[in-house]
Amino acid sequence: MRGVTPIRTEQLTVVPANEASWTDLAAIFGTSDPGRCQCQRFKVRGWIWRDSTQEERTAMLREQTGCDEPGAPNTSGLVAYVDGEPAGWVAVEPRTAYPKLRSKPMLWRGRDEDRDDDGVWAITCFVVRKGFRGRGLTYLLAEATIDYARSRGAAALEGYPMIAPPGKKITWGEMHVGARQVFEDAGFTEITHPTLRRVVMRIDFRETAP
């Protein structure tokens, strides 16, 4: 049985999803809430559970990731392996890939910028496979997105984590976007706090360039 000790750097390999197998990614998603959504919450037009089927969402994710296609020109996230076993996923790609994200009013409160700027990338989902949770993998995945996005020409990278006000709980399903602490530890800065439980965190590579 796996222990609960933190994952060490030498145990971890993170690759673009197109360099991973579809079988490995499916094992990470499993049948949990992320497994039902298949990272389509911000992509399906309309209400995700009404306007798409499980089969459609699965097919969409497979096409978007390009799994099993190392030469694919694009992919939609990163896959983490721990000691060679598929363990985690993070969705990271240009913000323009998420139609509903760009049209969600609450994420734009206090912000005046071009929502269609494809130089801004977004992190929208973390999934950690059962058996690897509680070992810091989400933190490692958040860190991995930074060099990945920057190396592909991103001008900025942002996420939309949840926070838990005193006395309140956030369910695992809600936490698929990540926790504020995860982004803080990776070096992101809070730029807005549009709702009681939601913040927007960002790294601007133009400002952090040497």
HEC string for the chain = CCCCCCCCHHHEEEEEHHHCCHHHHHHHHCCCHHHHHCCCCCCCCCCHHHHCCHHHHHHHHHHHHCCCCCCCCCCCEEEEEECCEEEEEEEEEEHHHCHHHHCCHHHHCCCCCCCCCCCEEEEEEEEECCCCCCCCHHHHHHHHHHHHHHHCCCCEEEECCECCCCCCCCCCCHHHHCEHHHHHHHCCEEEEEEECCEEEEEEEHHHHCC
Mean pLDDT of 179-199: 94
Q: What is the pLDDT of residue 2?
A: 47
In a domain? residue 45? yes
Domain containing 198: what range?
Answer: 9-208
171 pLDDT more than 90: no
174 pLDDT more than 90: no
- Whole-model pTM: value is 0.92
In a domain? residue 1? no
In a domain? residue 2? no
pLDDT in tens, 45-72: 888 989 999 999 999 999 999 999 999 9
Q: Which tops the pLDDT comparison, 188 or 170?
A: 188
210 pLDDT more than 80: no
Confidence of residue 74 (pLDDT cuts 50, 70, 90): very high
In a domain? residue 3? no
In a domain? residue 68? yes
159 pLDDT more than 80: yes
Q: What is the pLDDT of residue 165?
A: 65
pLDDT in tens, 15-31: 999 999 999 999 999 97
Number of domains present in the structure of the chain: 1
Mean pLDDT of 144-172: 86
In a domain? residue 161? yes
Q: What is the pLDDT of residue 35?
A: 86
In a domain? residue 191? yes
Q: What is the pLDDT of residue 168?
A: 65
CATH number at residue 78: 3.40.630.30
pLDDT in tens, 85-96: 999 999 999 999
In a domain? residue 83? yes
pLDDT in tens, 106-141: 888 888 899 999 999 999 999 999 999 999 999 999
Q: What is the pLDDT of residue 207?
A: 73
